[in-house]
Amino acid sequence: MKIGIIGGGAIGLLIGAYLADEHVVTIITRSSEQAEDLAQHGIHLKKDDQVHIKKVQAASISVLALNDYDLLIVAVKQYALEQIVPALEKVSGTLLFVQNGMSHVPLVKRLSLDKKVFVGVVEHGALKTNHHTVTHTGMGLLKISSYQQNNEAPIAGYSDFPVVYEDEAHDMLTKKLVVNAMINPLTAVLGVPNGELLTNPYFKQLFDSLFEEISVILQFDDCDGMKWHIENVCYKTARNHSSMLRDLEEGRPTEIDSILGYVLTIAAEKKSQAPITKSLYLMVKGKERGRREDTNEVCVVCINRYIGYLARIWVFDCFYHNEAMDEKSP
């Protein structure tokens, strides 16, 4: 099968590396420089202290190229989707979206009226180190579902890259959304690896409070099971830095609008209070703006450190206030 993967980031390269064993894979990149690099070197997949070189084709994005594939996997970030929507609307093949958050759902529903469209969530850990190298930092699953009925999964998995088909697309996306909403913003603001959200008692207090707030907004059927799932992800990826934290560190836009922004939209619709969610959203947006607008690297670091310092004070105040209230309770 001819597979095109739009997006040469960590997830696009990771998926492409594994699918290249059985399919003709083309990585469709934003820059011609990365396309040339991939065409020359292939994808270098680092896993278990070994480097596996996977041969792929590569091209910079163009409308004409997108109709050449049996399956197009859209692996760009949420904020980059708008730029390629006109091209996606002209695609006749099958589409698979693997974004974080849920802001892309209206687009998926619209495209699914006349196309085969799937959504997916990637539970693997991946780190891109240059144009053609990706490190597989944590094993997981690629879960796929369809908004249409009776559509078979467009790809099969392998023992080292399993693919699971889920019947309920909305439930699958919501579960991943909550993991991202809990881990990404907290680690990005606090500047810590995932596991520290559970091992630091102050951060754990904030973690619990955020979960309680989000669970009221999204109304989970099984709150205990959902929280266990999120904590399990934290444990399994304890040493990892979240993608949102890495985006801020490297001066890239984050997906905060499609993650916490989506949660805040639902909260507004339900007239639910969301003070912690809103505070985290504003902190990440503040860090983003500091990165984009200040060209002086020293000033950027100072801004982010100051926001991180304020965030820690805020966490301490929340924890101290709750303990004080507990002591006053009869």
How many whole angstroms separate alpha carbon 80 and alpha carbon 255?
A: 10
CA nearest 101: which of 31, 181, 39? 181
Contact yes or no for 173/103 (Cβ under 8 A): no
The answer for 219, left when phi > 0, alpha when psi is -120 to 50, beta otherwise, is: left
β-pair partners for 10 = none
CA nearest 175: which of 242, 235, 232? 232
- SS3 state of residue 256: helix
Active site residues: 176
Helices of type H across 7-127: 10-19, 32-41, 81-89, 105-111
Contact yes or no for 133/127 (Cβ under 8 A): no
How many whole angstroms separate alpha carbon 41 and alpha carbon 47?
A: 17
